[in-house]
Structure 1
Amino acid sequence: MRKIRKVFILLWFPVIFCCFFIEQVFSMNDTHSWTFAQKAMGQNYSSGQLMTYTVPEEYPLEGSQKFNVSVNGYYTGIYNDNNLWGGNVNFGYFDFEAGNSVNIVVSYSGSIDSFEILPKGFNIQAEKVSDNALSFQISNVEQYITVIINGNYKGDVLHLFANSIDKNIPNVAQKEGYYFDKKQGIHYFGPGYYKLSEMFSNGTLSVNKKKVIYLAGGAVLDGQLGFNQSSSAEIRGRGMIMNKEEKGMDNRVVLSVSASTGGTIEGIIIHGHRAPGWVCTNDKSSGLSYRNVKIISTRYASTDGIDINQCTDFTFENMFIRSCDDAVAIKGLDAETSAPVDCRPNKNLLFEKMQLWNDCNNAFGMGAETRASLYENVSLRNSDILFSYDDPNYHETLDERSAMNICALHGTYFRNIVFENIRVNRCERLIGLGFKDNFWFGSIQGDQSYPGGIDGVIFRNIICESNSGSKIANDIWLYGWYKEGTPTKQVKNITFDNVIIEGNLLQNDQSIKTNNVSGIILVKDLFFNTGLDVTEVREKYAVKVYPTILNQGENIYLEGDPILKCSAYSSLGQLLGDYSGKCIISTAEWPSGINFIKILDGRLSSQVTAIIVR
């Protein structure tokens, strides 16, 4: 009998253990009894299809989170920081497998009377499922979603980042905690919180040569990362680098790139938490690529999202930037004794698929410091400006701020600047281009004793749908420079091609403000939609036309889809020639100024490109 009892116990013990284990696992994932705050902290869930993450306990929350987010029933962690208006900015992320769809439920700590899902171009269909929750589905990875509650852009807002599952995780011996693979040159940070001041001198991990810094999903690093005199180095992953303000510590840049060539920064979140200061800087470097990077800095002020100083051949693709100063600032910073002509240029900078939000200053700006020999071939394309505000303390009074901006404090030249396929959701001043000799009530002094000018800026397919209600809402302000004893600087050859403001096509200069006065013309040669059939063509199919600014008699080259027909017109609509089947076009007989090439490509879609002939 005893023997039978022993056998019975031995047989049933595995079953009892498995039931106990399953019950424990179930209770760990049974979130029905969790409080709102527990759900906002998230849960670590990992499968081949979906990954969610918790907020580390050490992360310095600003009160309780205002949102929680479930993805296919699993909660992902929500981080937060305050904005200058007292609102609580919440953000979080998750990863899912490309090709799948996920169901997202967003719950708010208050009542939801109305909501907006941005960017509107995503056309995400959401519905309220309760008084404080809404639900929607997405199927695209590397997609960044903003939720506005009750129309309050200055209040509690959620930014949610839907990443792809990382297929390029480094193969290192240890994936828990911090591990440095000396042979491969890889600094690996697994999930968890890391205070870099306890690990590296001055709390800074800076790499050179071809080393890699990898931040796994769920990793939060408190400190600074950077490239210094590096070549093809990488910072990538799904985790976050942040820098919080601490007594006795200077507020350093969160991520910096200096004197480097090549290299990639990909997939991570860069967060300036509490600390007032620039978040991500790039200085005197070339050939770098930013992809799928998210930058958040909500404190007032001087909290630029990303700053570029005297850099060339950079690409910025599919980025989200929220700042409480310039979201993007392209600067010329050098010694005050340096003439701009002797400084490095800002050249060949491409920004593609950007989402920009600035609570102060500019969404996308060049300046205010412009000690650079040249600004050339700078493009912002296929992007959304979600929200752009001028200044909380001097609203409507500062004339150098706008959603799309050039404000040059130092005499230099701007050529071939393109804003194309831009949706502006809400802004104060829409466009500002010009020259000044001081900034922020004289605290930053300029120098217009050097020559310069803005010659050749294109605004193509710009849609600004709403009106903020302010007296500068959607204004366009163009201002040259004239002062005896200094070189005159003009703003000229500015094209407004299919610019639609509040449903109205911009067709003339009647609503554009300039500083032209009798006898002193500083703004001239403004060109507007010519009535040609302009159809938006997706970038990967478009015919490439270059150069778009050239001297009379030089050639234009066409590359891309099969070209069925190509015609050129002057700004007055005069036919300059038909060039069907040709890939090289001479401008020997073209008039100076702005002309247009109309292309009918292999998909029977029309494409119009503005060409400036000097």
Structure 2
Amino acid sequence: MTFINRNLKYFMILVLLKAIAMQAQVITYPESLRTGMPHNDSYTVRVRTLGGEWKDLYEYKVHVDMDKVQEASMVQFDMGSPVEVMVKKNNGTIREVDIRPLNNKVEYTQMRNAIFFTLERPQYLSVEFNGDRLHNLHLFANPLETETYTEARKGVMYFGPGIHKPDDLPNNQIRIPSNTTVYLAPGAVIKAKLLVDKAENVRIIGRGILDHPIRGIEVTDSKNVLIEGVTVVNPDHYTVFGGGTTGLTVKNLKAFSCKGWSDGIDLMCCRNVVVDNVFLRNSDDCIAIYNHRWNWWGGSSDITVQNSVLWADIAHPINMGGHGDPDSLTGEVLENVTVRNIDILEHDEDDPLYQGSMNIDCGDKNIVRNVLFEDIRVESIQEGRLFCLKVLYNPKYNKAPGNSIEEITFRNITYDGVGENPSLIKGIDENHSVRNITFENVVINGKRMKDVNEFITNEFIKDIKVK
């Protein structure tokens, strides 16, 4: 072996060992958060690499469920290899444990008032003791960051550990210009809205928190925007709002809300959108996709929502089609939407008009078409319906009825529960109908759906297929 080849071999070994060492780690966030975010003492949570030293996590207090606002808990960390987690319940005894989504099949062992479990990969979980879903622990095991900053520089807006409260800014918002990376470092807490308006090539990344903003992040009339890794706690309004934007990607977002109109991700006339690996617990719609509203026109298309956990304490986990342009001669089109690999942990809506875990309300002359719901697991419906497809005229939000719903597929859907209202498929008349709807491999309480005889329907639906 030549000298050069020998050195190259040793260099490659060092690179490999360094890469392995970087991956075999768990990263917790700076303690400065203790002075800026309220603590919840319901749990003590620790994490470690397998066989490593335990690290304490900060148990944040977050608020959930607008019906009667409750105090729940949240912890976060980054992992690059399998980790062991300890969760100790500090008040009362443990009679039963649920770690959801159940599809993740997280197994645990119990020792007195603590449980231990191993995570092989990053994931977002709800740890629930004794059936209590209002005071649960939300555990966010994030992937390792691949891009970090320690200071501001050209093209980088930096928010370091600590509290950032720009009271002197108009409308308490931070405007982000084009060609900018906004980095929220672990331990950063921003008490303001981030606004991307008429901009392009913007990235909002990091492990920081937006705490009680008016809205979390607003992206309007913009192009090529990435939101990745951040957490939004209890905004007054939407967590992420997209209006008239093309090329929006939202990844690894975690969010809570407990107020009226505090939706998760709302999109109006947006195109080429990807929502991937988010956890949304909202007191309004988790995901809402619309056409015209306010200052945006032109319809919506090519939107993918995938690999996510949705928890609607109020309203819909997934909702689309409600707003459009009633003054248009032909109506706007909402099309080419894919919703796949989703765990729905709750759907609770008291008003029958707004019930539906997977909901398409078509109003304002809209046409909703080419929508795929695939690999959806619904764990709980407190009050609501599993499926709801209706062309309607709702005078509270619409100025005209919708036009049609067509070419909708539900594939590989499972639900285990009891007490929900029947699913619903309805048109208005022959010219405002629901047609070409396919249900394929839908399993309810262990039984495959064979027909829609138990649905609420009317004569204005056509070509409904059950496979």
Same fold (TM over 0.5): yes
Query: What is the aligned partner in structure 1 of residue 79 from structure 2?
Result: 96
Specify which structure has the bigger relative contact order, considering alpha-carbon pairs within 8 angstroms and separated by 6 or more residues: 2
Alpha-carbon spacing, 1:503–1:114, altered in 2? closer, same or farther (3 Å) = same
Deviations 1:423-469 (A, max 9, x none): 1111231111112222xxx5434312xx61001100000011222x3
How far did 1:242 drift? 2.1
2:84 counterpart SS class? strand
Q: Give the gaps of 5 or more residues in structure 2.
A: 1-21, 49-53, 326-330
State the Cα deviation string for residues 8-54 of structure 1 (Å, max 9, x = none): xxxxxxxxxxxxxxxxxxxxxxxxxxxxxxxxxxxxxx997121123
Once residues 447 and 256 of structure 1 are traced to their aligned partners in structure 2, the CA distance between those partners, rounded to angstroms, is: 28
Q: Aligned to 1:190, which of 160, 174, 177?
A: 160
User: Which residue of 28, 43, 47 corresponds with 1:67?
Assistant: 43
Which of 304, 315, 331 is the aligned partner of 2:263? Answer: 304
**CA displacement, residues 289-317 of structure 1 (integer Å, 9 cap, x when unaligned):** 111111221x1321101100000011111
Change (3 A) 1:379 1:216: same
Structure 2 counterpart of 1:16:
none
Aligned amino acid, residue 109 of structure 1: N
| Corresponding residue for residue 134 of structure 1 | 115
Alpha-carbon distance in 2 for matches of 1:305, 1:67: 26
Residue of structure 2 equivalent to 1:477: 424
Aligned to 1:577: none
Q: How does 1:185-584 map to 2 (within 5 A)?
A: 185-198=155-168, 200-243=169-212, 252-273=214-235, 275=236, 277-297=237-257, 299-334=258-293, 343-371=297-325, 373-390=332-349, 395=350, 397-427=351-381, 428-438=384-394, 443-448=396-401, 452-467=403-418, 469-470=419-420, 472=421, 475-482=422-429, 488-514=431-457, 516=458, 521-529=459-467
Structure 1 residue 169 corresponds to structure 2 residue 148: yes
The amino acid that maps onto 2:28 is T
CA offsets 1:472-518 (integer angstroms, 9 cap, x no match): 1xx31111113xxxx8311111100000011111111211111x1xx
Provide Cα deviations, 1:241-281, integer angstroms capped at 9, x if missing partner.
1225xxxxxxx2121001111121111112225x3x22210
What is the CA–CA distance in structure 2 between the aligned matches of 1:387 and 1:80, rounded to whole Å?
20
- Structure 1 residue 180 and structure 2 residue 128: aligned? no
Match of 1:19 in 2: none
Rate the CA distance shift 1:321–1:335 in 2: closer, same or farther, 3 A.
Answer: closer
The partner residue of 2:70 within 38, 62, 87 is 87
TM-aligned CA deviation for residue 204 of structure 1:
1.6
The offset of 1:335, in angstroms, is 5.2
CA drift at 1:226: 2.3
Distance (whole Å) between structure 2 residues aligned to residue 79 and residue 333 of structure 1: 38
CA distance in 2 between counterparts of 1:68 and 1:59 reads 19
State the number of aligned residues: 430
* Cα distance in 2 for residues equivalent to 1:193 and 1:345: 39
Distance 1:196 1:504, change over 3 A: same
With structure 1 as the length reference, what TM-score do the two structures score?
0.67
Q: Is the 8 A contact 2:62 2:233 kept in 1?
A: no
Read off the aligned partner of 1:236 and give its amino acid letter: I
> SS in structure 2 opposite 1:370?
coil
1:55–1:77 CA contact under 8 A, matched in 2: no
Amino acid of the residue matched to residue 72 of structure 2?
Answer: V
Residue 86 of structure 1 and its aligned partner are, at CA, apart by 4.2
Show the 5 A alignment for 1:50-61.
Answer: 50-53=26-29, 54=31, 56-59=33-36, 61=38
1:201 deviates by 4.0
Q: Looking at CA atoms only, which structure, 1 or 2, has the larger radius of gyration?
A: 1
Give identity over the alignment, percent: 27
Task: Say if 2:40 and 2:60, in contact at 8 Å, map to a contact too.
Answer: no
Q: CA deviation at 1:375?
A: 0.9
Query: How far is 1:197 from its partner?
Result: 2.1
